[in-house]
Amino acid sequence: MTFRAIRAEEREGRQIVRFVDMEEAELMEGDVTVRVTHSTVNYKDGLALSGKSAIPRRFPMVLGIDLAGIVETSAHPGFRPGDEAIVNGYGLSETHHGGYAEKARLKGDWLIKPPGGLTRAEAMAIGTAGYAAALSVLALERQGMTPAMGPAVVTGAAGGVGSIAIALLAKAGWRVVASTGRTEEADYLKDLGAAEIVDRASLSAPGKPLGKTRWAAGVDVVGSHTLANLLAETRYGGAVAACGLAGGMDLPASVAPFILRGVALIGVDSAQCPMPLRLAAWERLARDLDRVKLARMTRWARFDDVFAVGAEVLAGKTRGRVAVEIEA
């Protein structure tokens, strides 16, 4: 029997991304086969779906960096048929077939069971974006950051990472400053827990090596001038967790914030994150993320609509999270 998938193929130096019918024999190696029920559309997925990115590193490649589903067969001691499983990263859509398919074969060591009563749908409403937000909050806490030190700023606030970062930081007691280019989303951001909204234009232009201090901590998904300005305006002993590059991979900053104010820049990787940190992030999400707020920030899409949604994500026209029902 065949199953549907969105696959990137290379032809004459060009990428072709399209729906195809696949057979199980075409799946990659792994000790667990999953019937995929849900996935997501993240910024990285939007790039891959465009067919203009370097995200797939081998071809053909099934796209989708997240998936949730039900185990069909397993040779892994941690999973049995019928178990629920979720996976983020680990090279999905880059070097291993990803979540935009009705079936996936994976390494059992990559999988986790949804913690704390999370459903598969809720896990994908969170997805890599929310998981990266949780990793960022945990990274700030490991650095010793507490709400008593001052406000926390979140860039790309109306997006997936930003929305969940705001909710988690507010739950932990932080006064959250939300940076967004969509000021019409102010009510949405305040509902998530933001205390103040700032226009991203105040952070996206080239700035000074040091500026007036405004916050103690930050979660940044933008990079480039925005990250440089966040660092320049962070208080003495503060820290910024960087987990995205929507504005560019460059960092036009100086060493001044680091050597004059002791500011820490913390890199956050979600794809190859060690399992203990991965589990801690998911447990934090299951414990602290308000399910009602999660539902409000989530838009559900059909599998057939993934290409259109990916284009919207790249154009900055989506709010919060976009999750996908793979299994109708």
Give the model confidence (pLDDT) of 7-23 as tens digits. Answer: 999 998 899 999 999 99
Q: In this predicted structure, what is the pLDDT of residue 6? A: 98
The residue type at 69: G
> Which stretch of DSSP H or E encloses residue 220?
strand 215-220
Q: In this predicted structure, what is the pLDDT of residue 328? A: 63
The list of the chain residues with pLDDT below 70 reads 328
| Strand bridging mode 66-74 / 32-40 | antiparallel
What are the distances in angstroms from CA 117 to CA 114, 129, 291, 326?
A: 7, 19, 11, 21
CA distance 289 to 286: 6
CA distance 31 to 50: 31
pLDDT in tens, 27-64: 999 999 999 999 999 999 999 999 999 999 999 999 99
CA distance 53 to 314: 12
Q: Where are the beta strands (DSSP E) in 14-60?
A: 14-23, 32-40
Q: In this predicted structure, what is the pLDDT of residue 121? A: 98
Domains of the chain: 2-113+291-325 (3.90.180.10), 128-267 (3.40.50.720)
Alpha-carbon dihedral angle through residues 127, 133, 134, 137, given to the nearest 10 degrees: 180
Q: In this predicted structure, what is the pLDDT of residue 183? A: 87
Helices (H), the chain: 43-49, 120-142, 160-171, 186-192, 201-204, 224-232, 256-260, 275-288, 291-297, 306-314
